[in-house]
Amino acid sequence: MENLLSSSSSLSSLRNLALLLIVATSILVLFPLSTVSAYPTTRPIPSSYQYLRLPSGVVGPEAFDFDCNGQGPYTSVSDGRILKWEAGVGRWREFATTVPRYTRSRAFCDGNRDPNRERRCGRPLGLKFNKKTCDLYIADAYLGLMRVGQNGGQATLLASTAGGVPFHFTNNIDIHPETGVVYFTDSSTIFTRKDHLRVTLTGDSTGRLMEYDPVSGKVMVLKSGLKFANGVALSENNDFLLVAETGAARIIRFWLEGTKSNTTEIIAELPGAPDNIKRTANDEFWVAINNGRSIPSYNASEIIGVRLDKEGRILEGLHGNGILESVTELEERNGLFLVGSNVAPFVGVFRI
C-alpha cells in the first residue's frame, strides 16, 4: 500500500509539473520577457526600496487609493478585506469587507491566500474613492461593483450584471471627478479570477468596459469583445479612457467626448502583459507590466512598468532589479512609488 501511494503521488507530481511547464511556456510565448532593450530609457528601482508588510498570511495588494483627506494608502488583499495603512502606528488595519460579515468566517478567511476560498471570502481588486462623496468604490472579482462609506464596514453591492450578462471577473475602476460616473472592467464573462490564466490561454475576448451611473443605478456596456479587459484610467480632461487588454498586450483608448466619442483605437502595443493603469499628476500614465510569475526573477533588467504619454508613446520603462514580480499597479504620489502585486506579502515603496 505504501509503495502504491508513493507511485500515485509521483505520477500526480509529474502531471502537475507537466501542466506547470505548459502554462509557463504558453505565458512566455504570449508575453515575451520585457527587458530594458525595448524602451528608450529605463530606471531601476533604488536600493532604498522599502516594504509595508501585510498582516500575517495575507498577500496580493492588488490596487491602491487615498481617501478624501489624503490618508492611506488603502489596498485590496487576498483574504477579501480592504486594508488602510495607519502611518502613525506603522501598521495596517481592516477598513472594509465585500462579503457580509455574518457569512464571512474570520477563522476561514482572515489570512487566506487560497484562490479556492475567494468566492466565499471575497476578492476585491480595483479601488477608487469618489473625492466628492468620500465613498470607496470596489471591484470585487466575484461579486461585482460595490461601494462602502467613508467609515468603512460592509460594502454594498451596486451591480453584478450588464445587458443581462453576469459579471464573472470584475477587475478595475476609475471615477469621473465631476459626475461620479464609475468606469470599470469585467475581464471575462466566462472565466473567474481563479481561472485567470485560461482567459489568456484560450484567447477569450468576452471582456467588457462599462460605466455605472450612481444617480440612476444603471450599468451600460461601452465596449465589448475585449481580450482580458483589465486596468482603466480616465484622462485629466475626462475626455477619454485608457484600457489595458492583457490578453492582447496592448492599451486602447476609448473616447468619451468630442468627434470621436464612443470610438476605440489602439494606442500602444506592449512587449508584456499590461495590468492596472494609473494617471500621474503630469497627465501621463503608469502601466504595470505583470509577468505572471510568483517567484523573483534572475533577470534584473525585466520591466515591471512603463510610463506612457496620452498618445500612447512609451516614455520610459521601470525595471525591478530582480526583486519585484507579478506587479499589478504602480502608483506615483508626491515623489513616492507604491507597487502592487498578485503574490507579494507587502506593498513596495520607493522614491526615485
- Alpha helices, DSSP H, located in 93-133: 106-109, 118-121
pTM here is: 0.88
Residue 272 vs residues 8, 19, 251: alpha-carbon distances, Å: 38, 22, 11
**Closest-CA residue to 155 (of 143, 146, 165):** 146
Ranges of each domain in the chain: 1-30, 33-351
Q: Which of 249, 245, 200 is nearest to 225 (CA)?
A: 245
Establish whether the linkage from the previous residue to 73 is cis, with ω within 30° of 0.
yes
CATH topology of domain 33-351: Neuraminidase (2.120.10)
Instruction: Give the integer Cα–Cα distance in Å for 340 and 275.
Output: 10
The overall longest dimension of the chain from CA atoms, in Å, is: 74
How does pLDDT run along the chain (352 residues), one tens digit per residue?
333 223 333 333 434 433 333 344 444 445 544 544 456 677 777 767 889 999 999 999 999 999 999 999 999 999 999 999 999 999 999 999 999 988 999 999 999 999 999 999 999 999 999 999 999 999 999 999 999 999 999 999 999 999 999 999 999 999 999 999 999 999 999 999 999 889 989 999 999 999 999 999 999 999 999 999 999 999 999 999 999 999 999 999 999 999 999 999 999 999 899 999 999 999 999 999 997 654 444 454 578 999 999 999 999 998 877 667 789 999 999 889 999 999 999 999 988 7
